Amino acid sequence: MSSIELIFFLFRIENKVKSCILFWREDILRKYIKYMQKDLPTTTDYFHINILVKSIIDEVAGYMKNVSKEKIAEEIQKAYIYARNAHEGQLRKSGDPYIIHPVEATRELLILRPDIVTIQSCLLHDVPEDTDKTVEDIRATFGDEVAYITAGMEKLSHLRYRWEERTIGSLRKMFVAMSEDVRVIFVKLADRLHNMKTIGFHSSKEKQERIALETLNIYAPIADRLGIFDFKEALETECFKILYPEEYNRIREELEIFKEAQDIFATKVKQLIIDTVPEGVPIVDISYRVKSPWSIYKKMQRKGYERVQDLYDLFALRIITDSVHHCYDILGTIHTVWTPVPNRFKDYIALPKENGYQSLHTTVVGMFYEFRTQPTEIQIRTLAMHRQAEIGVAAHFAYSETGQSKTAQDAYWAAELKEILNNSEDSEFMTEMKIGVFDDRIFAFTPKGEIQVLPKGSTPVDFAYSVHSKLGDNISIARVNGKVVHLDYELRNGESVEIITDKNKHPNITWLSFVKTTRARECIKAYSNRSNRGELIEKGRFILNAHLLKHFNKTLDKDLSLLKIIDGKTLDTEGRENVLVQLGNLSRKPSSVIRSVLENSSSELHKLKELGEQVKKVIHIEKIKTKGDIPELIIGGEKNIPYRFANCCSPKPLDKVVGYITRDGVNIHQIDCSSLKQQDFDRYLPAYWEGMKSQGLNIRAEMVFENRIGVLKKLTEIFFLMRINIDEMNAHIDTDGFSHVVFSLKTEEEDYYLFERLMERVKVSIKEFKEGKLLEMK
C-alpha cells in the first residue's frame, strides 16, 4: 500500500470514528431533551424556553424544602402554559417568542427565593396588559393573590418617567401597590431588570435613555430602600451602560486590570484570617466584593478622582461567621493584628440600617503591602445577616406546605409610605417621597434609651412627633444631650433628646419650614388647616404676591382671578383659597402654581417676557437632577477656580456648598458643615453650581432693642447661623433710649416663614429685644 493510499485509509477510519462519537452524543442529547420536556409543551419554537422553565422548577425545589417537587412543578407549569398560550403569536423586538420575557424575568426573580404566588405572578405579569385575558380570568384560575399582583403590574405598565406633576398620579399607583403587597415590586424589579438587559433591541436611542433614566431614578432607589442590593447594582449597571457608555467602558477596563491582583490578594488574606482567628471561632465563608461601576463613577465624580485605583474602598472583604458574639471576637482580633483607620468603624449590628441591614464595618491598613498599599475595608456578619444584606426584605419569606408566604409588612419605610399616600396631594407627592422615604437616616435616643430613626436633618420637633403626635403638638422646650436647643436645631447621630411639653402650646405653622418627617409635617398641617385656615390663606396670598412681584411686578386681585384655572380645573372661590392654603402650609411652591397658571389659562402673565428665562432655568435644573450631569462650580462669582471637596462633610455635586480659602487652595464644604463654625469667616467664598443659584428673598425688617453693648454681635451671629446676609443697616435712638434698627437682608432660600423663625430665635437669644416687624419681603 502506497503512502497516499495509507493516508486516505486513515482519513476514512477517522471520519467513521467521528461519526460514531457524534451519533452517541446526539443520542444522549435526545434522551436528555426528552427528560427535560416531560410534561411540557413540545412545540419547536418553545423548546429552549421549556428547558428554562425546568431549570426554574429545579431551583425552586432546591430552596423550598417543605414543598414537594411535584407540587412546585404543577403550579409553575400551570402558570407558564397559561401565559404561553395567552401570548401565542406575539414576538419580542429581538424576534423571540414573547413568553421568553416573563420566563427570563422569573429567572431574575429567583435570587430573592420567592414563593409560588410570586413566581406565578411573574410568569403572568404581562397577560392582562398584552392579551385578551383579564385580571378576573387570572383570578378564576389562580386565586386572589396572583390576581392582585398581576393587576398591580398592569397599572405600573402605564408609568412613564417625566418627573412632572402630570405623571405623579401614575407614580402614586406604584407606591400604593408596593405598600399593600411588596411582592408587586419584586415582580416589577425583575421585569425591569430583564427589560434593561435587552434594551439594545430598541432602535431609538432617546427611548433607551428615557427608560434608563426612569430605572435609575425610580426603580434602583426602591431596590436600595428594600435592601435588595443585587437588583440595585444590576439595574444601575445597565443604566450606566446606556447613559454614559464611554465612562462605563473605561471603568470596566480599569477594573479588569486589577482583577488578577485582587483574586490573589483575596486568596492570601482568606488563609491569613483563618490562621489568625482564635480556635473555636468558626469562619463560615470569606469572600470579597468590588464596588459596582456606577458606585465607582459617582464616587470618582464626588471626590474628583481621575482613576479607579484612587478609591481606597474599591474592594471589601466579607467574613461570615455563626453568631453575633463571634462577629465581635473576629473584629477584636483584626484590630489587634492590623491597624484600624480612625472614624471608619461602623456598628450596624447594634444600630441596623433602615432596610434591616446588619454588619460590622471596619477599615485597616497593613494587609499584604506587596499586593495592596491602600486600606482594606472588612465587613463581618452572620449568615442570616448576609442573606438580609443580599436580598433585603425578601429574606423574610417563610414558606407553608403550599409554597405560599407572608412577607414583612411592618418595615419603617412601609408605614411611612402609607402615611404619605394617605395624606399628600399629587402636587406635593414627590416632595414627600424624596424627603420621607429615600433620605439618609440618623438615630436619636429618648431619655430611656429607646431609638428613634429619623431622616438626616431632622429636628427636635420631628423627634417629638416620631414618639407620639401629642408630644409634638405640645412641645415647648427641647434638650439635646442635656442642653436646651432651638426647635429647629439639626439633630446628629447618637444624640439624646428630651422633650418638655406644655398643654397650652400648639403646633406653630413656622415649623413647616424646617421639619423633615412626613408625620411631623402632616400633624402640623392638620392642626393649622383646622385651626388657622384664615391665617394660612393670608400667608399663602403673601407668599404668592411676593413671588409675583419679584418675577412679574404683579399681585393678586381680591377675586383671586389669576387662580381661576389651576391644574386644568376651573376653581370656585373656595378652591382658589385652597390653593392659597397649600402655599401657606408649604405643601406647594409658588413656582408650581405659576407654571399651572401659564399652562392652563390665557392669563396676562403670558405677556411677560421675564417668564422665559425663569422657565428655562427650572427646566435646566430638572435636567441636571435627572440626567446626572455635573454642572460647573462657580466660586466667588468666577469659573475655572481649582478646588477640592472637604473630607469633613464630603459634599456632592448639586449640594448647597461654600468655599473656604486654605494655603493649598479652595476647599468646598457643605453649607451647614459643623467644622465651619470654628473657621475664620474672612476666608469664606460664596459658591454654587452653575444654573442652580437660588434667587432667595429680599427682606426689609425693623427691630427694636435696648441700647446695650453686644446686642449687634449677638444678632449678627444669629444671621450667620440662619444663613442670612445683611445688605444694609440703618439705626437711630428714639426719645426713650431704644435703638431702632432697619435691616435690608438677603436669604439664599425662598423661605417665606424665615422672618417668623428669625423673631423666635431673637426672642430666645437676646434679652434686650423688644419688638420686630416685617416691612417688605420679595
Catalytic annotation, residues: 129-130
Instruction: Give kind and range of the element (H or E) at residue 700.
Output: strand 697-706
The answer to whether residues 496 and 445 touch, using CB atoms and an 8 Å cutoff, is: yes
The answer to whether 175 and 433 are in contact (CB under 8 A) is: yes
Question: For residues 565 and 601, is the Cβ–Cβ distance under 8 A?
Answer: yes
The β-bridge partners of 634 are 688
| Alpha carbon 234 to chain centroid, angstroms | 16
Residues 6+ apart with CB under 8 A from 553: none
- Cβ atoms < 10 Å from Cβ of 196: 23
3-state secondary structure of 500: strand
Cell numbers linked to 665: 487652595
Nine cell digits for residue 340: 484600624
Distance set, CA 344 to CA 361, 376, 378, 380, 688 (Å): 8, 11, 10, 14, 30
Radius of gyration for the alpha carbons in the chain, expressed in angstroms and rounded = 31
Of 127, 161, 157, the residue nearest 141 (C-alpha): 127
C-alpha–C-alpha distance, residues 483 and 431, integer Å: 32
Tell me the CA distances in angstroms from 486 to 15, 19, 525, one per residue in order.
91, 88, 21
Question: How far is the CA of 628 from the CAs of 197, 213, 239, 251, 292, in angstroms?
Answer: 21, 9, 12, 17, 17
**DSSP output for 435-463:** HHTSS-EEEEE-TT--EEEEETT--HHHH
Grid cell for residue 475: 412641645
Of 626, 632, 503, 606, which Cα lies nearest the Cα of 552?
606
In the DSSP assignment, the letter for residue 496 is B
